[in-house]
Amino acid sequence: MTTIKLHNTRTRTKEDFVPISADNVRMYVCGPTVYDRAHLGNARPVVVFDVLYRLLRHTYGADHVTYVRNFTDVDDKINATALARQQAGAEGTLEQLVQERSNETIGWYLHDMGALGALEPNEMPRATQYIAQMIAMIEALIAKGHAYAAEGHVLFAVDSWKEHYGELSGRSVDDMIAGARVEVAPYKKNPMDFVLWKPSTDELPGWDSPWGRGRPGWHIECSAMSYELLGESFDIHGGGNDLMFPHHENEIAQSKCAHPHGEFAKVWLHNEMLQVEGKKMSKSLGNFFTVHDLLEQGVPGEVIRFVFLQTHYRKPMDWTEKKAREAEATLRKWRAQTAGFEPAANAAPAVIAALSDDLNTAGALAELYRLAADGNAAGLLASAQLLGLLIPEMGEWADTTSADLSLHADRLADARAIAMQSKDFSEVDRLKAAYLAAGLEVRMSKDGVELVPGAGFDAAKLEEV
């Protein structure tokens, strides 16, 4: 069995991964808050941890890995949408409209991430289904002296865990107070104390609790759900590095204090952020887009995945149109090369070795290029599929055969020949415009006409020409 090495944020070293139990390797990844479509940056951890999930399944067996990713469906923005819909005349109670909005965005999320070739985790708990477990955990924290109730809130007392708080991100409590956007509130004993439970107003969703009607803080969700589904010690906890502080520090504080005999997560993995054309993605810069936007523009999910895999997860990754075009050309070539082949029994050892070295996906892709250059179609197929590429169901976008395109090229050539006689080029112009709109490059010369698929090529549009 290949030894997997992973960079553990907690120890700041690359370590041999040794699961607590090889029979059930357990991984928890912080999932999305489901208030709207996922933007492209949200998709990065999904693809990163999907690759790890696939590698773990390959190494330990598909039935010996449990992957949990939550949905945070307690959120002010979800409530705001529900309230706006109610005010616009939508039927149903506010609670129903909140749930409707969550269901809608969860459906979008699963569709969009599925389009990127991400396998669904074994468990996808929703926060609202674990409120009782969160209340129980908060009660345990109060009983152990790690939390206190004040003015309808319950707060975690950071001073009760001061010697360990900040260990993951490598900061002291004093540094954090100086640097963080700490919400100062009169009921807090220490400004760093964070919310486990807060009151709900009448028009907001809320649950009965020993501290009145209210709702959980965000951090306690992950502690309660990971405990319920994976136990007090599990193998891997993942997420974007923007979650390291305060979210992951707070998860550790809650979980270790509520279950002092447990280890919580042994290995912490954090992915770096995503940029677009060298800039941070933001609504104000006008470079903000969702996965859905890209799919609608005709960028295949497989192409997005390929671009992501070109950058190591611990490095910032830059999304560019140029990369997407090149990825599309490569995948189109590989799909043509492997058409009609069955995958080899195993992925190439060099591909497994690269992935096992702290998920060196760029190294794994380099091996795929080598297999393609060697003409090893079966090996290329098996190895690419371990990375979630060249999966048959994801290849519809590349389906148009060159025979179809040459028929269209002949049609354009014929129209041109007729136009040369009649001097009426309107049909030629119409065809050219239609092929361009389908994402084809139109090359016309004395020798003939060639149609070359470009980025965003959409075969379905050819049917209407």
Binding site for Zn ion (CB under 5 A): 30, 222
Token pair 């992950």: residue: 222
CB-based burial label for 314 (10 Å; 0-12, 13-18, 19+): middle
Residue closer to Zn ion, measured from CB, 222 or 351: 222
Nearest approach, Cβ of residue 253 and Zn ion (Å):
13
Residue closer to Zn ion, measured from CB, 268 or 397: 268
CB 324 within 8 A of CB 455: yes
CB 287 within 8 A of CB 256: no
Nearest approach, Cβ of residue 28 and Zn ion (Å):
8
Nearest approach, Cβ of residue 439 and Zn ion (Å):
39
Residue closer to Zn ion, measured from CB, 30 or 204: 30
The H-or-E segment that residue 218 falls in is: helix 218-230
Nearest approach, Cβ of residue 227 and Zn ion (Å):
12
Residue closer to Zn ion, measured from CB, 238 or 453: 238
Residue closer to Zn ion, measured from CB, 29 or 155: 29
Nearest approach, Cβ of residue 450 and Zn ion (Å):
52
Residue closer to Zn ion, measured from CB, 166 or 239: 239
Question: Hey, which bits of 190-336 come out as E strands?
Answer: 194-199, 214-216, 233-240, 264-271, 274-276, 279-280, 317-319
Nearest approach, Cβ of residue 148 and Zn ion (Å):
23
Residue closer to Zn ion, measured from CB, 240 or 298: 240
Residue closer to Zn ion, measured from CB, 147 or 222: 222
What are the DSSP calls for 245-268, one per residue? IIIIHHHHHHHHHHSTTS-EEEEE
User: Which residues pair with residue 270 across a beta bridge?
Assistant: 239
> In terms of DSSP H, where are the helices of 2-118?
40-60, 76-87, 94-115
How far apart, in Å, are the Cα atoms of 225 and each of 1, 152, 219, 296? 31, 23, 11, 34
Residue closer to Zn ion, measured from CB, 259 or 370: 259
Rounded to an integer, what distance in angstroms lies between the CA atom of residue 155 and that of residue 412? 71
Question: Which of 290, 27, 253, 247 lies closest to 160, judged by CA?
Answer: 253
Query: Rounded to a whole number, what is the largest CA-CA distance in the chain?
Result: 92
CB 367 within 8 A of CB 379: no
Question: Which of 23, 27, 24, 5 lies closest to 14, judged by CA?
Answer: 5
Rounded to an integer, what distance in angstroms lies between the CA atom of residue 171 and that of residue 355? 31
Nearest approach, Cβ of residue 224 and Zn ion (Å):
11
Nearest approach, Cβ of residue 222 and Zn ion (Å):
3
Nearest approach, Cβ of residue 240 and Zn ion (Å):
10
Pairing status of strand 317-319 against strand 440-445:
unpaired
